[in-house]
């Protein structure tokens, strides 16, 4: 019987010579070289440790750790052991982690040593029995324990429809939803992207994205692994250091902010990236100005693609010819992906008309964790997933995203849901109500801004609200400005007119 376990497929792509370098760290005190054999053995030891815990089938393994090769190995080991990986942004604070752990009920939690005190408390209260630590310097109880286990392991037998990962993506009502991705979702997407982006022998990926979201964990890591390609591994993005490694690399993936920052780096030029084959952008809209400036500076045309946590990748600009990559568009639906544009009333729209983007395919997730009603709401009656993105398809099938029907801000590639932030602000003493909006920002694409109305006679300050938020929520969600106003603009139905607020603040960070 063939094994549908994603790990098995990734492992099968390891090169014949297991002693060649799979991953080289770029920003550790000295470079560390991990061979393919190290990945094989390290993931086996971790999988054996996980097996020894006798977790129930399909247990969730929640992981909030700094980026490291060992953290990637932990992900692969969870797949290998047949459990469900639940990555968490390192910026999340106690209130956020409490919700994820309470909702997902993981059987195993792995956190940084410095957070063990508060994370383990949350986990134990939620009924999790196993909490290990993993630090970015290869210390922590996880590796200490794994060292006692054997370095061979037979991957768990999985069906393609079995869960491989849960990715929390915030909800419009403010509560995050866990998108359930299967081994089949991830493998089909990895295989399609290998083909579409012409991954080839000799490719080397500069991996500079976090590994707790789709882009860095799946698109980038799977891309290299399923091609048996080496990764140059940055724990955080540094434009100068990344540029310095481009003469050894061929592929780079980034959110638009990374491209803006590369353009701000004087050493980034045609000579620096002459060895490069492909620059991929996604997770947020890439401004046409960035697309054009990048082409002029580097001689390369960024390939923009579009995807989301619930669906992995959906569309891509063409790999060949490079001249067919159109700035401001996200390209064509990937092979096997259905993408249509419907009106708000569900009527199919002709080419060129703007409407709701709906998708179908082997990459589309299984539903939201323990939210059957929410899942049903997000699919049409004929089972297409409603992305919440608004766009159009031209006569050649090329897709352009023009906006979002979901109230979502994407800042530096991270999603921020206004409803969640408004919830925190509205709970603060002296606050009557608030509206959170996204406004243009030269570095982050969009920046979070809060407009707050005080209760009668209450004295509140924007700086105090921002400071209070900083102690409660992930730092990238904290508004860059809190504007205190006497009231919010409303339409005749009483709905807050966020468009007027966006207009008022549109030049806050840009000229
Ligand atoms: C950091 N800061 C941000 C921010 N990142 N503010 C707004 N938006 C962001 N994205 C703020 C911090 O709060 C902090 O402020 C200050 O910047 C410095 O923090 P830092 O951590 O040192 O920042 P930096 O390392 O420069 O990080 C910026 C970044 C990072 C762009 C490298 O945000 C990043 O890696 N983004 C990529 C996100 C990503 O991978 N998305 C993929 C999602 S998957 P202060 O005031 O506290 O000092 C997806 C699906 C798909 O969307 O299609 O791919
Ligand atoms: P996430 O929930 O983090 O997976 O974010 C997915 C969302 O990011 C999508 O629904 C889009 O709104 C947005 N997105 C991803 N790629 C692009 C892109 N290339 N252009 C515009 N928006 C994008």
pLDDT in tens, 215-238: 999 999 999 999 999 999 999 999
Residue showing tokens 């090769």: 69
pLDDT tier, 173 (very low <50, low <70, confident <90, very high otherwise)? low
Helix axes 94-104, 116-125, angle to 10 degrees: 30
Ligand 1 lined by 282 (C-beta under 6 Å)? yes
On the question of pLDDT at 67 being above 80, the answer is yes
Sign of CA dihedral 287, 290, 292, 298: negative
CA dist., res. 33 & res. 24, Å (int): 5
What number of helices (H) and strands (E) belong to the chain? 16, 25
Confidence of residue 174 (pLDDT cuts 50, 70, 90): low
Give me the chain's average pLDDT, please: 97
Rounded CA gap, 452 and 487, in Å? 8
Above 90 in pLDDT, residue 141?
Answer: yes
Protein residue with least CA distance to atom 8, ligand 2:
283
CA distances from 334 to 184, 304, 307, 401, 415 (A): 16, 13, 10, 16, 23
Q: How confident is the model at residue 171 (pLDDT cuts 50, 70, 90)?
A: low
Tokens of 79: 């797949």
pLDDT at 511: 75
| Site of tokens 């999988």 | 47
Which pLDDT band, with edges at 50, 70 and 90, does 170 fall under?
Answer: confident
342 lines ligand 2 (CB under 6 A): no
Superfamily of domain 409-505: ANL, C-terminal domain (3.30.300.30)
Interval 95-113: pLDDT, tens? 999 999 999 999 999 999 9
Per-residue pLDDT tens over the stretch 282-334: 999 999 999 999 999 999 999 999 999 999 999 999 999 999 999 999 999 99
Topology classification of domain 303-404: Luciferase; domain 3 (2.30.38)
Yes or no: domain 6-236 corresponds to CATH 3.50.50.60: no
Q: Is the CB of 49 under 6 A from ligand 2?
A: no
Surface-to-core class of residue 404, CB atoms within 10 Å of its CB (0-12 exposed, 13-18 middle, 19+ buried): middle
Q: Which of 207, 255, 472, 482 for mutating ligand 1's site (highest number of atoms within 8 Å of CB)?
A: 255
Which residues lie closer than 8 Å to 393 by C-beta, 6 or more apart? Answer: 339, 340, 341, 351, 352, 399, 400
HEC profile of 187-227: HHHHHHHHHHCCCCCCCEEEECCCCCCHHHHHHHHHHHHCC
Q: Which of 92, 193, 413, 438 is the best mutation target for the ligand 1 pocket, counting ligand atoms within 8 Å of the beta carbon and taking the most?
A: 413
HSE, CB side, 13 Å, CA atoms: give it for residue 176: 24
- Mean local confidence (pLDDT), 9-31: 97
Of 502, 422, 413, 508, give the one whose Cα is nearest residue 465. Answer: 422
pLDDT for residue 427 is more than 70: yes
How much distance in Å is there from the Cα of 283 to the middle of ligand 1?
A: 12
CA dist., res. 108 & res. 153, Å (int): 19
Report the length, in residues, of the chain: 511
Instruction: Return all residues near 401 (Cβ < 8 A) that are at least 6 apart.
Output: 285, 306, 330, 357, 389, 390, 391
Q: Which of 312, 410, 474 to mutate to test the pocket of ligand 2 (most atoms within 8 A of CB)?
A: 410
Q: What residues does each domain of the chain span?
A: 6-236, 303-404, 409-505
As given in the structure block, the two tokens for residue 168 are 């929390």
Please answer whether residues 416 and 439 qualify as being in contact, where contact means their C-beta atoms are separated by less than 8 angstroms: no
CA 484 to chain centroid: 32
Which two tokens mark 253? 């993936």
Find all residues with CB under 8 Å of 76, minimum gap 6, and list them. Answer: 7, 10, 39, 43
- So what's the pLDDT on residue 1? 77
pLDDT tier, 18 (very low <50, low <70, confident <90, very high otherwise): very high
Query: Which ligand has the minimum distance to the alpha carbon of residue 179?
Result: 2
For range 1-29, the mean pLDDT? 96
| Alpha carbons 6 and 4: distance in angstroms, whole number | 6
In terms of Cα–Cα distance, which of 233, 295, 229, 285 is closest to 262? 295
The pLDDT value recorded for residue 172 is 61
CA torsion angle for 318, 320, 326, 328 (degrees, to 10)?
Answer: 40
């Amino acid at each position: 019987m063939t094994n549908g376990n994603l790990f098995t497929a990734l492992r099968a792509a390891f090169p014949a010579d297991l002693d060649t370098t799979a991953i080289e760290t770029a920003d550790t005190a000295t470079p560390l070289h991990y061979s393919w054999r190290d990945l094989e053995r390290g993931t086996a030891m971790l999988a054996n440790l996980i097996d020894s815990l006798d977790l129930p089938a399909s247990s969730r393994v929640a992981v909030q750790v700094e980026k490291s090769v060992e953290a990637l190995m932990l992900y692969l080991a969870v797949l290998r052991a047949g459990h469900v990986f639940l990555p968490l942004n390192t910026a999340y604070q106690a209130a956020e982690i409490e919700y994820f752990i309470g909702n997902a009920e993981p059987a195993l939690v792995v956190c940084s040593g410095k957070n063990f005190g508060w994370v383990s408390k949350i986990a134990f209260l939620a009924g999790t029995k196993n909490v290990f630590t993993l630090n970015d310097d290869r210390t922590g109880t996880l590796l200490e324990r794994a060292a006692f286990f054997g370095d061979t392991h037979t991957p768990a037998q999985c069906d393609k429809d079995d869960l491989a990962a849960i990715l929390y993506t915030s909800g419009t009502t403010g509560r995050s939803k866990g998108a359930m991705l299967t081994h089949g979702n991830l493998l089909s997407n990895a295989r399609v992207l290998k083909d579409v982006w012409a991954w080839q022998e000799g490719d080397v990926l500069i991996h500079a994205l976090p590994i707790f979201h789709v882009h860095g964990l799946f698109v980038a890591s799977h891309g290299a692994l399923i091609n048996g390609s080496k990764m140059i591994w940055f724990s955080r993005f540094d434009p100068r250091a990344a540029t310095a490694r481009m003469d050894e690399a061929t592929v780079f993936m980034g959110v638009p902010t990374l491209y803006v920052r590369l353009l701000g780096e004087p050493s980034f030029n045609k000579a620096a990236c002459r060895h490069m084959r492909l620059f991929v952008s996604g997770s947020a809209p890439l401004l046409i100005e960035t697309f054009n400036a990048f082409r002029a500076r580097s001689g390369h045309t960024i390939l923009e693609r579009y995807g989301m946590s619930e669906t992995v990748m959906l569309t891509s600009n063409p790999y060949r010819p490079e001249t067919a990559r159109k700035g401001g568009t996200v390209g064509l639906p990937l092979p096997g992906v259905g993408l249509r544009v419907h009106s708000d009333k569900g009527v199919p729209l002709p080419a060129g008309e703007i409407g709701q983007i709906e998708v179908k395919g082997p990459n589309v997730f299984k539903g939201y964790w323990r939210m059957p009603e929410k899942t049903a709401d997000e699919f049409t009656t004929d089972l297409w997933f409603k992305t919440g993105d608004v766009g159009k398809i031209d006569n050649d099938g090329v897709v352009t995203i023009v906006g979002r029907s979901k109230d979502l801000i994407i800042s530096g590639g991270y999603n921020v849901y206004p409803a969640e932030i408004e919830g925190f602000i509205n709970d603060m003493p002296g606050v009557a109500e608030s509206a959170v909006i996204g406004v243009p920002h030269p570095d982050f694409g969009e920046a979070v801004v809060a407009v707050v109305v005080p209760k009668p006679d209450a004295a509140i300050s924007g700086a105090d609200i921002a400071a209070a938020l900083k102690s409660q929520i992930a730092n990238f969600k904290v508004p860059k400005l809190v504007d205190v106003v006497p009231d919010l603009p409303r339409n005749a139905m009483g709905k807050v007119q966020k468009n007027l607020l966006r207009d008022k603040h549109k030049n806050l960070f840009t000229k």
